[in-house]
Structure 1
Amino acid sequence: MSRREMRGGRDEEGTGPKVGSALGRSDPARIGPYQLLGRLGSGGMGKVYLGRSRTGQLAAVKVLHDQLAEDQEFRRRFERELHAASRVSGRFTAAVLESSRGIDERLWMATEYVPGPSLSQAVSAFGPLDPTTLLALWLGLLGALESIHAAGIVHRDLKPSNVLLAEDGPRLIDFGVSVLGGATTLTATGVVIGTPGYMSPEEVQGHRSGPHSDVFALACTLTYAATGSAPFEGANPMGVMYRVIHDEPDLSRVPDRIASLIRPCLDKDPQSRPSVTELINMLPAAETDEVSRLLAHGKWLPEAIRRRTREHAVTVFEWDGARRDSLAAARPVHPGDSECDPEPPTVPQGSVTTPPNGSPPNPPGSYGTGGPDPGPDPTNEASLRTHTVPLPADMPPLPRIPRRTWLRWLPARRGTR
């Protein structure tokens, strides 16, 4: 959790490709069926990578930290996350594709990759969203919560960095601290799970959370989208949590139309907050029809953010190509490797290439002026494709190299030991 998150301010995480997200030496090259292309982000439980399967499926692959893999408490949290996410299906959530098995050394899960910036990245780059985009974001996130709650799950960590802005609608991601309905919470005594600027009063006080807690977080997130800041801010996490419990939200900069929607959601009493269904029906039919039309046809984002979303897709493609080229340059080619063993270059029948200095061609196993073969030249792309230079069968015998003349000046050896 970043300090800005704890203050209730801007959350700069996001999961889009950015500078400095290339794989490091300690990162795996492959997880399950996914070739890893780069790092998307990291959190308290693990790292998130961009992966590509053999069938061309892009995925966000989340891997549990190695040092936590043996901790049974963290294992339960990870398995709970996986179980919770696999039960959710809906247009505005990222679907689970695959996951680790019991025999795997690492614990991981792969979800649908969404090309686009996070809400925190978009607001930081382009400023608060306009009212029409806010209403579309509102309806999309309500649709996501409707799917999540229908599966008996509470997200518990709805915040700007967990909302991705795709061209065909927002996506709510990361069920890292979600709780299955009826499950026992794994929160230790005195430990609070969540981000203070987007937590409900009941969560801050350590009480059981529910769907109404997600409604509170949704209102905080929309306030951020409309103003660039959360409704409760403070100098430190404790100050933020105090304001969440005791103070009224700061909605002075929120457009009146949006403020009328989110103000009931920020009630201190969870039972007084409207449900997701009530919030969906709160907009007039004509307004809902227009906003849903924009969502359905991918016209809901401002042009600047749509351009950034397309740039994310292009960046991922170029990123993938760079990763492929670096792997090809670093990996030695062995005969029989069907995936990367192209046919060796051939020499036309009856022809032999001659070095420019007129010396005889080098036989296999020699290099340059007679020294040992140093191996493939890493600067020559063709040298990576074969180990030896094939010679034609009818090549004439190599000329005899004359004996070195300096031997005549050595005295003849007389006698034996």
Structure 2
Amino acid sequence: MTAAPGPDHTLRASDPVQIGPYRLLGRLGSGGMGRVYLGRSMTGQLAAVKVLHDQLAEDQLFRSRFVRELDVASRISGRFSAAVLGSSGLRDEHLWLATEFVPGPSVLEAVEASGPLDTETVLALCLGLLGALETIHSAGVIHRDLKPSNVLLAADGPRVIDFGISAAADTTRLTATNVAVGTPGYMSPELIRGGTEVGPSSDVFALGCTLAFAATGVSPFVGANAVETAFRVIREDPDLTGLPEEIASLVEPCLQKEPELRPSIDALIQTLPAAETDRISRQLAHGQWLPAHIQRQTLEHAGRALAWDGARQSSPQTVLQDWPQPTDDDTRALFAPRDATPDEAQPTDPSTVVLNGSAPVPTPRTLPAPLSLGTFGPPPGSGPPNVPGTTDRVEPEPGPTDEVSMRTHTALLPADTPPLPRIPRRGWLRWVPAFRGKARR
């Protein structure tokens, strides 16, 4: 199963809407054991939710083994492995597993899209995968299905996904059905033979096959079909044609037929020169290990996940969001001055503009110069609108009857302006019911 956004992401009518605490947003991929969805919890946690096929859930032996294996896998918290966030219980209708969502293509997708990875990127991938296997094995888990589609290329390092699931299926009678437990081109000989003693060296074999594919684009044991591929894994030597010498020195020891002849994880880490290991680990630590074209794919996956989430709103605002929103062009057209027609008169006051035939709206004028020292007068706007005997006010010419000009400020008054005459108070108290018929004292 892959956990990178693909083009066919639309949820079907048969897909569940909610799995555990996660609301499903779209399909991430599918595989022989189930489907992978992008989910989001109510607390904002994005997750790759893997829902196993119903035929697996109906097998009680597999269900018990699955829950036990996932209990161990949930304790894995290494940097280069996708953390397990939750899983189903023994009595749940669906068997599911939620791991952290990692935006980024898988090794398979990156190679199919842009060709084999360069030598330096493959070396960084090797160090990251060694770190992931070291963490997984220390928790007592054997991955059993390490392959290019189960390795995601994140910005801060590779991520191994789907560990622990194959271990549950491998010990049940489901291995005799059409359920795919592993991929023949990346399974160790002892795993293909069905041996019970499958240990960490089986994952080392799969690591060598994955690195060879990343560097050449072809599995070292590829055949015309699954049966031929499995036969080549057991009987024939790997085809390492086109593999760079630096990568071949790492891959070839991993592909030994006998498990005891394969190097350990610690031995593989010490294979590279110290200076080379230090330089590559520094690139991993600072997120500088991926080429530019894969970094673009990583950003595309992150943006696509956000678009899926926005397309499946669960709040009451969904109906409002379906209405078309005004664009910038619509806003500019709304507030742009309308061109006058020959039958319409323009307002003569330069401080007004007309909005689509409505009442004119004033535009800001240039503020008058400040008063010079020694000149005193009322501040702007504090004087009355009409002062007898003054000539500072300029009346605009009358405009159309339906368009009245609006003043933006009052003209300054000279300091020697006489005071306004006192206006007698109106007898408004006579309109109050309590004072009707009473003479004012």
Q: 4+ runs of 1 displaced by more than 4 Å?
A: 187-192, 325-331
Which residue identity is paired with 2:200?
P
Query: What is the correspondence of 1:163-182 to structure 2 with a 5 Å cutoff?
Result: 163-175=151-163, 177-179=165-167
Percentage of identical aligned residues: 64
Which residue identity is paired with 1:55?
T
Q: Distance in 2 between matches of 1:109 and 1:24?
A: 20
For 2:3, which of 15, 31, 44 is the aligned residue? Answer: 15
For 1:44, which of 12, 32, 44 is the aligned residue? Answer: 32
Give the CA deviation at 1:209: 1.4
Q: Distance in 1 between matches of 2:15 and 2:319?
A: 16
194 and 66 in structure 1: CA distance in 2 versus 1, 3 angstrom threshold: closer
Matched with 2:216 is: 227
Which residue identity is paired with 1:109?
L
Conservation of the 8 A alpha-carbon contact between 2:4 and 2:301: yes
Matched with 2:279 is: 290
Conservation of the 8 A alpha-carbon contact between 1:177 and 1:194: no
For 2:148, which of 139, 153, 160 is the aligned residue? Answer: 160
Which residue identity is paired with 1:186?
T
Matched with 2:401 is: none
Matched with 1:107 is: 95
Residue 269 (structure 2) pairs with residue 280 (structure 1): yes
TM-align CA RMSD:
2.3
Q: Distance in 2 between matches of 1:210 and 1:190?
A: 22
Q: TM-score, normalised by structure 1?
A: 0.71
Residue 2 (structure 2) pairs with residue 34 (structure 1): no
Give the CA deviation at 1:329: 4.8
Which residue identity is paired with 2:308?
W
Instruction: Give the stretch that moved more between structures: 36-45 or 310-319.
Output: 36-45
Q: Distance in 1 between matches of 2:27 and 2:316?
A: 16
Conservation of the 8 A alpha-carbon contact between 2:26 and 2:37: yes
Q: Distance in 2 between matches of 1:91 and 1:325?
A: 33
Q: Distance in 2 between matches of 1:14 and 1:267?
A: 28
Conservation of the 8 A alpha-carbon contact between 1:81 and 1:178: no
Query: What is the correspondence of 1:129-148 to structure 2 with a 5 Å cutoff?
Result: 129-148=117-136
Report the secondary structure of 2:48's partner residue: strand
Q: Deviations over 1:237-279 (max 9, x none)?
A: 1111111111111112100111011111111111011000110
Give the CA deviation at 1:103: 5.0
Give the CA deviation at 1:69: 2.3
Report the secondary structure of 1:154's partner residue: coil
Q: Deviations over 1:170-220 (max 9, x none)?
A: 00000254438xx99336686783210001111122222111110010000
131 and 151 in structure 1: CA distance in 2 versus 1, 3 angstrom threshold: same
Report the secondary structure of 1:267's partner residue: coil
Query: What is the correspondence of 1:233-312 to structure 2 with a 5 Å cutoff?
Result: 233-312=222-301
Which residue identity is paired with 1:21?
H
Q: Distance in 1 between matches of 2:155 and 2:183?
A: 27
Q: Distance in 1 between matches of 2:3 and 2:319?
A: 27
Give the CA deviation at 1:106: 2.4
Matched with 1:83 is: 71
Conservation of the 8 A alpha-carbon contact between 2:2 and 2:36: no
Corresponding residue pairs, total: 317
Q: Distance in 2 between matches of 1:120 and 1:234?
A: 17
For 1:70, which of 58, 61, 64 is the aligned residue? Answer: 58
Q: Distance in 2 between matches of 1:67 and 1:245?
A: 30
Q: Distance in 2 between matches of 1:321 and 1:205?
A: 47
222 and 326 in structure 1: CA distance in 2 versus 1, 3 angstrom threshold: farther
What runs of 5+ residues in structure 2 fail to find an aligned partner?
Answer: 321-441
Q: TM-score, normalised by structure 2?
A: 0.68
Matched with 1:350 is: none
Which residue identity is paired with 1:108?
W
Which residue identity is paired with 1:250?
D
Matched with 1:149 is: 137
Conservation of the 8 A alpha-carbon contact between 1:45 and 1:74: no
Q: Distance in 2 between matches of 1:90 and 1:269?
A: 29
Report the secondary structure of 1:110's partner residue: strand
Conservation of the 8 A alpha-carbon contact between 1:89 and 1:95: yes
Give the CA deviation at 1:326: 10
For 1:185, which of 171, 185, 188 is the aligned residue? Answer: 171
For 1:323, which of 312, 318, 324 is the aligned residue? Answer: 312
Conservation of the 8 A alpha-carbon contact between 2:24 and 2:39: yes
325 and 108 in structure 1: CA distance in 2 versus 1, 3 angstrom threshold: closer
Report the secondary structure of 2:26's partner residue: strand
Instruction: Give the stretch that moved more between structures: 187-196 or 160-169.
Output: 187-196
Q: With CA pairs under 8 Å and 6+ residues apart, which has the higher RCO, 1 or 2?
A: 1
Q: Deviations over 1:66-97 (max 9, x none)?
A: 34422213313432442242132200001011
Give the CA deviation at 1:27: 1.1
87 and 179 in structure 1: CA distance in 2 versus 1, 3 angstrom threshold: farther
Conservation of the 8 A alpha-carbon contact between 1:14 and 1:121: no
Q: Deviations over 1:358-379 (max 9, x none)?
A: xxxxxxxxxxxxxxxxxxxxxx
Matched with 1:412 is: none
Which residue identity is paired with 1:260?
S
Query: What is the correspondence of 1:187-202 to structure 2 with a 5 Å cutoff?
Result: 193-202=181-190
Query: What is the correspondence of 1:306-385 to structure 2 with a 5 Å cutoff?
Result: 306-324=295-313, 329=318
Matched with 1:59 is: 47
Conservation of the 8 A alpha-carbon contact between 2:106 and 2:150: yes
Matched with 1:382 is: none
Instruction: Give the stretch that moved more between structures: 297-306 or 28-37.
Output: 28-37
Give the CA deviation at 1:102: 4.6
Q: Distance in 2 between matches of 1:327 and 1:145?
A: 45
Report the secondary structure of 1:324's partner residue: coil
Residue 193 (structure 2) pairs with residue 205 (structure 1): yes
What runs of 5+ residues in structure 1 fail to find an aligned partner?
Answer: 1-12, 332-417
Give the CA deviation at 1:107: 2.5
66 and 247 in structure 1: CA distance in 2 versus 1, 3 angstrom threshold: closer
Q: Deviations over 1:96-132 (max 9, x none)?
A: 1122245533222211110001110000001000011
Q: Distance in 2 between matches of 1:105 and 1:214?
A: 32
